């Protein structure tokens, strides 16, 4: 060891640097004053020589011990050249010569848990700092002894690029010159007890292809959005009075390229094929099952690890933006399934992130989800709540998404969700409500709608928790819409019943109206109804093959005519015969068969009918837009009328849920005149037998169903007939 050492560098420092255990490496690495001279200390494993160049003048540094080099230099601005035994050289600015990047204000907001754009300060950002290009890394790990960036740029050696604390926030940061787009990295964290683990970046913008686990440096700036017309108009498209018909999609299994090893379509291919199909089918929105990066295909994305990274399975972030932009330019909104309710226990994820229960509750009675073997966020911790609220804003701002469907809200609202006595911790008042989760959901909705009122948030909430879609200032959770799980469960139970017994279960189709206007409801037929042995929508239907299709046609028409926005899972629109399988594409061959094609045609027409008739959507969430007409359990017939605004033509709907035709069926209507038949699910084009009403019928002065006039209808077996008031006979 040379006899001369700078006064800031001790034997203990040298040993700790070589061992990778130094707790404050920025105190000794890089340029520092020693007496009246400036010294540089460098840690460079594998180098046989290190040369500092200042003002064009090279100055070899002395090897102190192991991989520690040091020496006096004549200036503050310098580059380092590492020389290796094979004769190769590498020149770079010294990462330890740069000042911190995070501002005091950013640190204050992070510490306070109120940084609404957290992704702009945490994660890996390609940037120019002190006239040098590189990447700034920042991660929250308040209980760590030491955090290092490891990657393909430093041989995954945690000794090379340790990070510095950013004030008292628990955030660690470092600027690494020359590191750029596509670099693979992780954080190696030394815990308080001396343990060590490698973690993916919680705010990383990209990831490797699973099962690989590293984060990827991605530059998400500079995308030239060209969807201004959509963004200006989308507030009306999300409004309660507008038609909203959602096509739920699992991107990995919608279509596959079997000419290319069976891979899923890329974001760019989906921008062409999926968008054009949804546009043709008349849906107003696409809802994507989670695309936040996730390690296990079988989770369908509902166990995310990279909450800020669009999954690389279909392409990089800018190509995901290409998909969203294409949808917008076709007049289609894009919603994202968002999963703030839990996260997986994978070692490279958030679990025990800095050696402590940082993101999750320490007590498994609060922090472990028994149904899914996952961990539950600690919503009462301000930094965790900030992480999640900022993530919601991130997807809306950075990717122009039009809304978030929040998964598993019921599991968040109740501390005893799916738990037995003794397996949960009551709230401060001794009750089961999770006050912290409720406050988080309210804050998320305030933040998202406050940032842009034109978006929508949707709750998948399966209980009778009150005011889910009511404003926070009136005591609600603040969601724009809520899935009507009760409607879905009841009506499917009815449809699965043999028609001969349906008269005993009539209430399953009528009772849901009693609560239909207590929330802003979406009627969902989601992926959950066609997995885990539940069969397909077609196989749920009873009867012969013809009856199965007729039942399904009648059910879909009933759904589209009922109050509430609509959601249908992919494949259900053409009555896929098999249960959904995430490992293969939909059965598009079946979609070409006449009966299946008829269902597909029906869904397209239902979307058009729903969109073009204000009576079917203006009052989806208002009680004065619905009234019962005929309602006969013994015949399993259901009739109702839908109203829009004052000048909108009302729409009358009559359903026959038995395989028996009802001829000369007398139905009261709200006004005299001609009632045009605008839909009949028994039409041949849908796969029916063309039994109907010859285009409509004129009302007669025969009282029925509480009205002074009525029409006489032919109701085909297992059918729905829809009539619209027309001013005159054409």
Task: Give the pLDDT mean for 341-352.
Answer: 96
Lowest mean pLDDT among 32-36, 438-442, 491-495, 707-711: 32-36
Domain 104-216, architecture per CATH:
Sandwich (2.60)
Name every residue whose Cβ is closer than 8 Å to that of residue 261 and which is 6 or more positions away in sequence. none
pLDDT 10s digits, 277-335? 999 999 999 999 999 999 999 999 999 999 999 999 999 999 999 999 999 999 999 99
Q: Binning pLDDT at 50, 70 and 90, where does residue 36 land? A: confident
Fold annotation for 11-97: Immunoglobulin-like (2.60.40)
Of these residues, 293, 383, 460, 605, which one is catalytic? 460
Query: What's residue 589's pLDDT?
Result: 97
Q: Binning pLDDT at 50, 70 and 90, where does residue 74 land? A: confident
Residue-range domain boundaries for the chain: 11-97, 104-216, 623-726
Query: What's residue 187's pLDDT?
Result: 98
Cis, bond preceding 26 (omega within 30 deg of 0): no
Q: Binning pLDDT at 50, 70 and 90, where does residue 541 land? A: very high
Query: What's residue 727's pLDDT?
Result: 67
Helix 267-281, helix 594-612: angle, nearest 10 = 80
- Alpha carbon of residue 588 to chain centroid: 26
460 is a catalytic site residue: yes
In the block, tokens 């995954």 appear at 156
Going by the DSSP 8-state scheme, the letter that residue 531 receives in this structure is S
Query: What's residue 640's pLDDT?
Result: 98
Task: Give the pLDDT mean for 336-341.
Answer: 98
Tell whether the model's pLDDT for residue 730 goes beyond 80. Answer: no
Contact 74, 58 (CB under 8 A): no
Tell me the three state secondary structure of residue 712: strand
Contact 576, 569 (CB under 8 A): no
Contact 575, 244 (CB under 8 A): no
Helix 228-237, helix 317-329: angle, nearest 10 = 70
CA 233/CA 331 separation, integer angstroms: 10
Q: Binning pLDDT at 50, 70 and 90, where does residue 729 land? A: very low
Query: What's residue 156's pLDDT?
Result: 97
In the block, tokens 């970046």 appear at 201
Query: What's residue 2's pLDDT?
Result: 52
Tell whether the model's pLDDT for residue 30 goes beyond 90. Answer: yes
Contact 719, 659 (CB under 8 A): no
The DSSP string of 642-706 is E--STTSPPEEEEEE-SSS-EEEEEEEESSSSEEEEEEETT-GGGTS---S-TTEEE-BS--BTT
Q: Binning pLDDT at 50, 70 and 90, where does residue 77 land? A: confident
pLDDT 10s digits, 100-149? 999 999 999 999 999 999 999 999 999 999 999 999 999 999 999 999 99
CA 565/CA 620 separation, integer angstroms: 7
Going by the DSSP 8-state scheme, the letter that residue 405 receives in this structure is E
Contact 358, 350 (CB under 8 A): yes
CA 138/CA 149 separation, integer angstroms: 9
CA 651/CA 614 separation, integer angstroms: 9
Q: Is the dihedral of CA 622, 624, 629, 632 positive or negative?
A: positive
pLDDT 10s digits, 161-196? 999 999 899 999 999 999 999 999 999 999 999 999
The DSSP string of 107-120 is HHHHHHT--TTGGG
Going by the DSSP 8-state scheme, the letter that residue 707 receives in this structure is B
Length of the chain: 730
CA 411/CA 430 separation, integer angstroms: 18
Tell whether the model's pLDDT for residue 651 goes beyond 60. Answer: yes
Query: What's residue 91's pLDDT?
Result: 94
pLDDT 10s digits, 552-568? 999 999 999 999 999 99
Task: Give the pLDDT mean for 558-584.
Answer: 98
Name every residue whose Cβ is closer than 8 Å to that of residue 287 and which is 6 or more positions away in sequence. 246, 247, 248, 249, 334, 335, 336, 337, 405, 567
The DSSP string of 148-160 is EEEETTTTT-TTT
Query: What's residue 3's pLDDT?
Result: 53
Tell me which residue of 539, 546, 541, 602 sits closest to 574, measured CA to CA: 602
Q: Binning pLDDT at 50, 70 and 90, where does residue 536 land? A: very high
Name every residue whose Cβ is closer than 8 Å to that of residue 475 and which is 6 or more positions away in sequence. 467
Contact 387, 381 (CB under 8 A): no
Tell whether the model's pLDDT for residue 377 goes beyond 50. Answer: yes
Tell me which residue of 168, 183, 159 sits closest to 96, measured CA to CA: 159
Task: Give the pLDDT mean for 690-698.
Answer: 94
Going by the DSSP 8-state scheme, the letter that residue 597 receives in this structure is H
436 is a catalytic site residue: no
In the block, tokens 């040369």 appear at 51
Contact 278, 286 (CB under 8 A): yes
In the block, tokens 């961990």 appear at 375
% of the chain beyond a pLDDT of 90: 96
Do the strands 333-338 and 285-288 form a parallel or antiparallel pair, or are they unpaired? parallel
Task: Give the pLDDT mean for 75-92.
Answer: 91
CA 646/CA 615 separation, integer angstroms: 10
pLDDT 10s digits, 466-510? 999 999 999 999 999 999 999 999 999 999 999 999 999 999 999
Query: What's residue 119's pLDDT?
Result: 98
Of these residues, 201, 219, 337, 407, which one is catalytic? 407
Query: What's residue 34's pLDDT?
Result: 86
Tell me the three state secondary structure of residue 67: coil
Tell me which residue of 520, 522, 525 sits closest to 538, measured CA to CA: 525
**pTM score, whole prediction:** 0.95
- The domain covering 623-726 belongs, at the CATH homologous superfamily level, to Golgi alpha-mannosidase II (2.60.40.1180)
Burial class of residue 395, CB neighbours in 10 A (0-12, 13-18, 19+):
buried
458, 471, 553 from 474: Cα distances, Å: 18, 6, 40
First-last CA distance in the chain: 104
Contact 486, 511 (CB under 8 A): no
% of the chain beyond a pLDDT of 70: 99
Rounded (5°) CA angle 704-706-707: 70
């Amino acid at each position: 060891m040379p006899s001369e050492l700078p006064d800031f560098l001790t034997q203990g420092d040298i040993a700790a640097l070589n061992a990778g255990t130094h707790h404050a490496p920025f105190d000794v690495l890089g340029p520092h004053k020693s007496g009246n001279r400036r010294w540089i200390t460098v840690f460079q494993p594998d180098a046989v020589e290190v040369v500092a160049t200042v003002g064009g003048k090279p100055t070899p540094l002395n090897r102190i011990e192991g991989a520690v080099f040091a020496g006096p230099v004549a200036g503050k601005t310098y580059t380092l050249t590492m020389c290796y035994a094979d004769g190769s050289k590498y020149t770079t600015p010294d990462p330890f010569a740069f000042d911190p990047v995070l501002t005091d204000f950013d640190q204050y907001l992070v510490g306070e848990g109120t940084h609404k754009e957290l992704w702009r300060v945490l994660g890996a950002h390609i940037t120019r700092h002190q006239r040098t290009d590189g990447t700034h890394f920042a991660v929250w790990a308040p209980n760590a002894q030491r955090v290092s960036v490891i990657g393909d740029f430093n041989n995954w050696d945690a000794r090379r690029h340790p990070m510095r604390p950013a004030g008292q926030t628990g955030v660690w940061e470092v600027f690494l010159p020359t590191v750029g787009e596509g670099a693979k990295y992780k954080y190696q964290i030394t815990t308080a007890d001396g343990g060590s683990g490698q973690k993916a970046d919680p705010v990383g913008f990209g990831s490797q292809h699973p099962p690989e686990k590293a984060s990827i440096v991605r530059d998400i700036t500079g995308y030239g959005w060209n969807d201004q017309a959509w963004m200006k108009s989308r507030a009306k498209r999300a409004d309660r009075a507008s038609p909203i018909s959602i096509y739920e999609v699992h991107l990995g299994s919608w279509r596959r390229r079997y000419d290319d090893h069976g891979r899923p379509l890329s974001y760019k291919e989906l921008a062409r094929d999926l968008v054009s199909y949804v546009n043709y089918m008349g849906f107003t929105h696409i809802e994507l099952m989670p695309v936040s990066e996730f390690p296990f295909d079988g989770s369908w994305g509902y166990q995310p690890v990279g909450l800020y990274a669009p999954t690389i399975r279909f392409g990089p972030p800018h190509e995901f933006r290409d998909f969203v932009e294409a949808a917008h330019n076709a007049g289609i909104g894009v919603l994202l399934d968002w999963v703030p309710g839990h996260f997986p226990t994978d070692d490279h994820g958030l679990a025990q992130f800095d050696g402590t229960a940082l993101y999750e509750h320490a007590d498994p009675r609060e922090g472990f989800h028994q149904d899914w073997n996952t961990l539950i966020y600690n919503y009462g911790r301000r930094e965790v709540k900030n992480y999640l609220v900022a993530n919601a804003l991130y997807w809306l701002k950075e990717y122009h998404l039009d809304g978030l469907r929040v998964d598993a809200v019921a599991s968040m609202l109740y501390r005893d969700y799916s738990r037995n006595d003794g397996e949960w911790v009551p709230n401060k008042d001794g009750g089961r409500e999770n006050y912290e989760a409720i406050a988080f959901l309210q804050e998320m909705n305030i933040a998202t709608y406050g940032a842009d009122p034109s978006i929508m948030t949707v709750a998948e909430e399966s209980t009778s928790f009150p005011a889910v879609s009511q404003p926070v200032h009136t005591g609600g959770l603040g969601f724009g819409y809520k899935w009507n799980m009760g409607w879905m469960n009841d009506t499917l139970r009815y449809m699965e019943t043999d028609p001969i017994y349906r008269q005993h279960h009539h209430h399953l189709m009528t009772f849901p109206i009693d609560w239909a206007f207590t929330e802003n409801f979406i009627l969902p037929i989601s992926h959950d109804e066609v997995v885990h042995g539940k069969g397909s929508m077609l196989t749920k239907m009873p009867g012969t093959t013809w009856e199965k299709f007729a039942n399904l046609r009648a059910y879909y028409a009933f759904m589209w005519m009922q109050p509430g926005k609509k959601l249908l899972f992919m494949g259900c629109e053409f009555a896929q015969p098999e249960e959904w399988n995430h490992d293969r594409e939909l059965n598009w061959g079946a979609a070409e068969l006449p009966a299946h094609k008829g269902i597909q045609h029906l869904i397209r027409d239902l979307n058009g009918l729903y969109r073009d008739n204000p009576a079917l959507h203006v009052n989806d969430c208002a009680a004065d837009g619905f009234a019962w007409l005929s309602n006969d359990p013994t015949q399993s017939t259901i009739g109702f009328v839908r109203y829009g605004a004052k000048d909108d033509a009302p729409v009358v709907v009559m359903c026959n849920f038995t395989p028996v035709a009802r001829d000369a069926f007398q139905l009261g209507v709200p006004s005299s005149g001609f009632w045009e038949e605008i839909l009949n699910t028994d039409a041949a084009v849908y796969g029916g037998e063309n039994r109907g009403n010859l285009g409509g019928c004129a009302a007669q002065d025969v009282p029925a169903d509480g009205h002074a006039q009525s029409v006489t209808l032919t109701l085909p077996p297992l059918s729905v007939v829809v009539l619209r008031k027309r001013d005159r006979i054409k």
